[in-house]
Amino acid sequence: MVTLSRAGPAKNSPLDQRRSHRCWREQAWVSSVLHRDAKQFGKKHMFDGSEETCWSSDQTVQVSRLQLQFQGGFACRLCTLEGCRKGEELVKILDFYPDDVHALQSFPVQGATLDRLRITFARSTDFFGRIVVYHLSVLGEKL
């Protein structure tokens, strides 16, 4: 499971669109790291996209799209997006069903104004339940 919390836009990102940007970089929790080697494979590398990193913002974000890329054969069949505003409990926003492919996949999110979100990966395509995420972006607008 990966849980994400607030962040700001990535500068000069190829995924940036007019007034859209990556967000939710400030805090991330992951359930496991390859070979427990956090220095080389840790959560800090999940969002750096390394285009000079990004800056943080404490503003509320209107989420418009999620982008995910899995390793083929290690994808997730069912993902659940939950979110909330400050001081509220997480509520389910949507379930989405990625394909078991290596391509970047995009999922629209309607009317999600959030300060906090959680993406739960359930039902792996791998026999042992492993899921490998190569790319994860949360796109939206600061409010």
| Tens of pLDDT, residues 108-126 | 998 788 888 888 888 899 9
Which domain does 96 fall in, by range?
2-142
User: Which tokens hold the place of 28?
Assistant: 């991330």
pLDDT at 8 over 60: no
Q: What is the pLDDT of residue 16?
A: 38
Tell me which amino acid residue 1 is. M
The helix/strand/coil state of 39 is helix
Residue 50: pLDDT band (50, 70, 90) is: low
Q: For the chain, how many structural domains are there in total?
A: 1
Tell me which amino acid residue 31 is. S
pTM, 2 dp: 0.62
| Tens of pLDDT, residues 18-28 | 344 444 444 55
CATH number assigned to the domain comprising residue 42 = 2.60.120.260
